[in-house]
Copies of this chain bind each other. A is one copy, B any other.
Amino acid sequence: MLSGESTVTVEIVDESKPGLRERKKQRTHAAISDAAIALFLEHGFNQVSVARVAEAAEVSKRTLFAYFPTKEDLVVHRLADHETELARVVRDREPGTDPLTAVREHFLVGLRERDPISGLNDHPQVLRLTRMILDSPSLVARMEAFKAGAERALAEALRETAGTPELTARLAAVQIVAVQWALSQDNAHRMADGEPADARYAGAAADAEHAFALLERGLGRLTPPQ
């Protein structure tokens, strides 16, 4: 606290070679999270109290809340990275590539690789987690908050890297996020209903192409010419 100059140094050192304190924190964090996921998967999110999670992780309830601000965070913190994923994809795209193209290609790669975030993954573990989330309203609500965060981040990326005007960037962002989310949701629901990922792949890819074409070329006339 004395030398204000060393403050930065301390943090850098902490990150490059984590001290005992830091390592312990990470272990505790993981222990709590693991205990929570295990219990939630076994008994259901609403059927397990945070007190029980704390007990299983051999930590006081107060400490648990020092690591995770809410019960929902015990689950969704694992998805935190994905909140800025679309923004990252747009920023890191090949020069000259259109942002929408970059996002489409990224999503298609996700499908091909059965990335859980694309919804097209039927590994039992992933499936159980998906079902658990879809079954708990508070977790679903929390996912919506994620969407909002993703929208904000993507809008900023569009403004900064494509020079898209403020309003257009916001509008494009909400549309892109909404569409991609709808695609993932659809896949996830199908997996939860027992459809195998490999059997669904072709359809999922076709749907994605269709969805992105709609984004690019617009809804046009929704009523078929009579």
Copy count, this protein chain: 2
- A224 contacts partner chain B, Cβ-Cβ < 8 Å: yes
Given that A145-B144, A210-B168 are contacting pairs, would A222 and B99 also be in contact in the complex, using a CB cutoff of 8 Å?
Answer: yes
Q: How many residues of A contact B (CB 8 A)?
A: 42
- A62 contacts partner chain B, Cβ-Cβ < 8 Å: no
Of A19-27, A172-180, A192-200, which stretch is located at the interface?
A172-180
In the A-B complex, the 10 residue pairs with the closest CB atoms: A218-B218, A174-B178, A178-B178, A217-B218, A144-B144, A162-B223, A99-B222, A175-B175, A216-B218, A174-B182
How far does the alpha carbon of A147 sit from the alpha carbon of B148 in the complex, in Å? 12
> Which A positions have Cβ atoms within 8 angstroms of B?
96, 98-100, 141, 144-145, 147-148, 158, 162-164, 167-168, 170-172, 174-179, 181-182, 186, 207, 210-211, 214-224, 226
Which residues of chain B are near A186, meaning CB under 8 Å? Answer: 167, 170
